[in-house]
Amino acid sequence: MAQTLGFIGLGIMGRPMAKNLLKGGYPLVVHSRSKGPVDDLTAAGARSAPSPKAVTEQVDLLITMLPNSPDVELVALGPQGILEGAHSGLIYVDMSTISPIVSQKIDKALAARGVKMLDAPVSGGERGAVEGTLSIMVGGDKPTFDLVLPIFQAMGKTITHLGPLGAGGFTKLANQIIVAVNLTALGEALTLARKAGLNRELTLKALGGGLAGSRCLEQKTPNYLSNTYNPGFRVDLHFKDLGLIMESGRALGVPLPTTALVQELFAALRARGRGGLDHSAVITLLEDLASGT
């Protein structure tokens, strides 16, 4: 019989990830702050629970996919949280992008209750979550990773065990540097091309076929062509990640000058009220600057 899984956090990424677990044949218990996604998942065959504690009490393995470190810490260690419902033998997998230091704090608290934890942030955006092609970056002990691997394979395509708990989080932060800088470079390039009178579709085609091609270019091309930036991954969330990156850089003594500049551009984008847009919308700030607005 398949393990009973729990999933907490049914946002842009969490909802399709949970659906892929249902498609994989796993019994699923879900909880989220918003009623709509819970109703969607229960209609697809999941059961709902009124709190993180109630989910935890019913499952063998629990996944969280939440916006930020305080959200995960509250769900894990707060009232009616995971710790209160934890039982020996439970496996807890946090797939959020949070501070690795917070991950280690939660792991220590849960380990006292006999819980094994993995940190397993993802990359691939909403499209990767829907298609089950996410890159999953995992930290934690190897035997636990091996047990969870089939579950990861229901949600992702590239699954890598990177070392002890926290290694997944640090790898995701490295990933977020590359994505933020890439999207900013794309924004600059496409703004230059448009000011030069070039056709955007043809420009993207040419760039995608050479060394400048990237997954960012491929996935965000529809946004650039339609000039609409509905969120696959919000500016606000990537700005949060940039803050975690800069904190980690200071703690580890690593200078991150390019990342610091991109962080300020994302801050300016949020100041213009665009934090809810897709992170590829950094191009709109660069277009504003190029037009003098």
d(CA 148, CA 21): 12
Q: Per the residue annotation, which of 19, 116, 172, 220 is the catalytic one? A: 172
Does residue 246 contact residue 266 with C-beta atoms inside 8 Å? no
Phi, psi values for residue 273, rounded to 5°: 80, 25
Place of tokens 């499952």: 59
| Distance in angstroms (rounded) separating the CA atoms of residues 172 and 152 | 16
Q: How far apart are CA 3 and CA 1, in angstroms?
A: 7
For residue 278, give the DSSP letter.
B
Q: Backbone phi, then psi, for 29, in 5-degree steps?
A: -115, 130
Q: Is the dihedral of CA 139, 255, 276, 77 positive or negative?
A: positive
Residue whose C-alpha is closest to residue 216's, from 193, 260, 186, 239: 186
108 is catalytic: no
Q: Which sequence positions are flagged as catalytic?
A: 172
